[in-house]
Structure 1
């Protein structure tokens, strides 16, 4: 059996402990939103206007497209998002925030910032900010392919719109 010291030095154990804490706190913070943390992700993506169609959102979040469809249905019923045909591809639906969705996202973002602050409260000085940057860099490196797909789609959309 691993000692406490060995376990604390193990990246997998550390990431797992942080993830469990994050999931628990975030469930409390956004539990009243349709889809909880997943719903928050969709609202955040819709607000950024990157990867706005459903297929791209599914790829970006790692959600099954069918699951995402039901989640967006629930967010739409709650008046937080709308789906509209993509002007550059009528087969595709863009997900956009409503005014109520923007307001709700702002409130939830404040809550999620508090979750992150609570989760990282034990880190001294600038360590919390450094950890956020390092983890974001590692995540983006893993997700670089998905980002490139979104950027390519945006470039094609811009070229079609300007033609």
Structure 2
């Protein structure tokens, strides 16, 4: 139920981006994470490496990101945000934050911060868990 409420509040704020929420996540990752190449980006976002190029292509076409040769491997490509991409992200991030505050309105500011911290910790754990352990009956 919470996930549906979150999606209903946040999705309209990212609809203007290519690929919506996925485009927003990719922009976030290339702006704030030091990921050396597209493979690392795919792993971080949990996107199949064969699908990621299509997401990137749409963001390149919109002028939000560009591909550059990776520093340590000229065959690999690193995705970087353009200045336009950073500007667009900042605008959308403000709208996403406002929508998130609305979703979390039942919590006071301290509780909201704590909830975000705990959720972030759980997301990092989920990313690090081996695939064999994901989705088992004992998870929750």
TM-score with structure 1 length normalisation?
A: 0.74
Kindly name which structure, 1 or 2, has the bigger radius of gyration based on alpha carbons: 1
Who is 1:93 aligned against? Answer: 77
Instruction: Please give the secondary structure, in 2, of the residue aligned with 1:37.
Output: helix
Who is 2:8 aligned against? Answer: 24
Gaps of 5+ in 1: 1-16, 147-163
Taking the aligned partners of 1:29 and 1:67, their CA distance within structure 2 comes to 23
Contact preservation (8 Å) 2:36, 2:70:
no
Taking the aligned partners of 1:89 and 1:41, their CA distance within structure 2 comes to 25
Who is 1:81 aligned against? Answer: 65
Who is 2:21 aligned against? Answer: 37
Alignment coverage as a number of residue pairs = 130
TM-score with structure 2 length normalisation?
A: 0.85
**For structure 1, which segment, 121-130 or 58-67, has the greater mean C-alpha deviation from structure 2 after superposition?**
121-130
Offset from partner CA, 1:36-83 (integer Å, 9 cap, x none): 000001101111242242111111111122221111001000000000
Deviation, 1:103, is 0.2
Query: What is the alpha-carbon root mean square deviation over aligned residues?
Result: 1.7
